[in-house]
Homo-oligomer: A and B are copies of this chain.
């Protein structure tokens, strides 16, 4: 019973702005905030409105084409999604670089907790953050 709620994917028109957001998102090695993404597109010379960045990211996330985690301050961080399996991430707090974590143990645990508690429609969020080896070595970026 996979939670693969691949949304009906609302009308999607190819526009330069959307391409740009996708490109910028794909170019990031890790999770990135909408704001930073917007800054990047600006820096790259494209004129993409901040609201569009938000709208595109929301669409992507809704369609399952982007993963979302929450930063320490509650801001949403997005990452282009490579595959379709449900995953958890170990995200570098400094650079956003993320490793996927093998999470069968978690999934099992969650399923068990759901059953035992009697709770219905149980969602889960597992977020790991740390400092990656590269950032630990030398404060870059």
Contacts and interface: CB of A to CB of B under 8 A. Distances in A.
A92 B131 CA distance: 32
Contacts of A99: 117, 119
Interface size class of A (residues with CB under 8 A): 20 to 34
A134 B30 CA distance: 40
Interface stretch (A11-19, A35-43, A68-76): A68-76
Instruction: Give the oligomeric copy count.
Output: 2
Given A74-B76, A127-B124, A92 B105 contact: no
Given A74-B70, A74-B76, A119 B105 contact: no
A61 B132 CA distance: 27
Interface in A100-140: 101, 103, 105-106, 108-110, 113-114, 117-133, 136
